[in-house]
Amino acid sequence: MIVIPAVDLRGGYCVQLVGGDYADERVRLDDPAAVAREWARVGFSRLHVVDLDAATGRGTNSDVIRDILRDATVPVQIGGGIRDEAQIDRAIDDGASWVVIGTRAIQDEDWRGEMAHKFPGRIIIAADVRERRVATHGWSESSGLDVIDFVESLSGLPLGGILVTAVHKEGLMGGTDLPLMEDVAEASAWPVYASGGVATADDLRALEHRGLAGAVLGMALYTGALDPRRIAEEYGE
């Protein structure tokens, strides 16, 4: 299993939010590109970069993302507000190894199929989940879709993976939703990456034991609850 540090962008800063709540920001760092470089220097072999402003219609951090990609020495997956082919093309041209798409992929079955086949192995579908229902628009709305039904519907697509975020656990440092992650991993034809709530090495081992391909970590690394060097050594892949 691989651990992937998250670099979440808001207003040009690298941030960490609690429970997806923009009013509860616990971490704010003023040089996201330097943060990304540091995670690679520590030993992580992949990064997860998300434009929170684009995901919620508040703006864009595209210049910051280009800075991160320009300096990157490890593969980077980019997400947040990517809802058309031109944005996917641009992200890949700028150097992204994978593009994470959520809202439109959830709402538009034909489009997600078209994008998956146009960019085989480069698309990661994001399923942000509250109470087993898939959320959209930066966690602010519910699609009403059952997450397992949604994941099973993706089985015929040439994806690079599925990213499942337990929104109700995000940033709380109380452990992830293991039953959810286990069920998704069993239902998925593709590698599943877990996000939300990981706080201890035991949480990571539990995810690995349940067949997860990786975990995206934010708060636990930024607050020092987990030692980045030790985690990179064990899960840097």
Tens of pLDDT, residue by residue over 173-226, are 668 899 999 999 999 999 999 999 899 999 999 999 999 999 999 999 999 999
CATH of the domain at 112: 3.20.20.70
Rounded to a whole number, what is the distance in angstroms from the first to the last CA of the chain? 7
Instruction: Quickly state the pLDDT bin for 228 (edges 50, 70, 90).
Output: very high
Q: What is the pLDDT of residue 100?
A: 98
Which amino acid belongs to residue 74? V
Q: How far apart are CA 201 and CA 215, in angstroms?
A: 12
The number of folded domains in the chain is: 1
pTM for this predicted structure: 0.93
Of the candidates 122, 129, 120, 192, the residue with the CA atom closest to the CA atom of residue 163: 192
Residue with tokens 């402003």: 53
Please give the positions annotated as active site: 8, 128
- Report the range of poorest mean pLDDT among 19-33, 58-72, 165-179: 165-179
> Which residues constitute the domain of residue 116?
2-235
Per the CB < 8 A criterion, the answer to whether 78 and 98 are in contact is yes
Q: What is the pLDDT of residues 104-137, one digit of tens each?
A: 999 999 999 999 999 999 999 999 898 778 876 5
Residue type, 14: C
Q: How far is the CA of 26 from the CAs of 168, 175, 184, in angstroms?
A: 16, 17, 29
* CA pair distance 127, 133, nearest whole angstrom: 9
